[in-house]
Amino acid sequence: MKTEEINEEELLAFILALKTKFGLDFTHYENNKLKRALLRIFDNLAIDSIYELWIKILEESKAKEHSNTTLITVNKLLSLSVH
């Protein structure tokens, strides 16, 4: 998959969902940087879409909602500023 295969509308919806659900604001990141990071995450998790990633994040969130552990997938997104 290539960065141009990630739809801009899906990316925006995903960014807004992260902000709404978790208070994480990625709106100031460049879209291409986010897309590259998402592609790395897709590869690591053996998934093919933002939709699948969102399902994974929600599943992790539900499984850990009574725990103090941080979401693994969201942590990968937070590491964007390092890459």
Domain span at residue 68 reads 3-81
Q: Is the pLDDT of residue 68 over 60?
A: no
Q: What is the pLDDT of residue 52?
A: 92
The model's confidence at residue 8, banded by pLDDT at 50, 70 and 90, is: very high
Number of residues that this document lists for the chain: 83
What CATH number does the domain containing 74 carry? 1.10.155
| Chain mean position to CA 79 | 11
5 in Cβ contact with 58 (< 8 Å): no
User: How many separate domains does the chain show?
Assistant: 1
Query: Rounded to two decimals, what is the model's pTM?
Result: 0.74
Q: What is the pLDDT of residue 15?
A: 93
pLDDT digits over 10-58, tens only?
999 999 999 998 888 899 889 998 999 899 889 888 999 999 999 988 8
The model's confidence at residue 81, banded by pLDDT at 50, 70 and 90, is: very low
Residue with more model confidence, 11 or 71: 11
60 in Cβ contact with 52 (< 8 Å): no
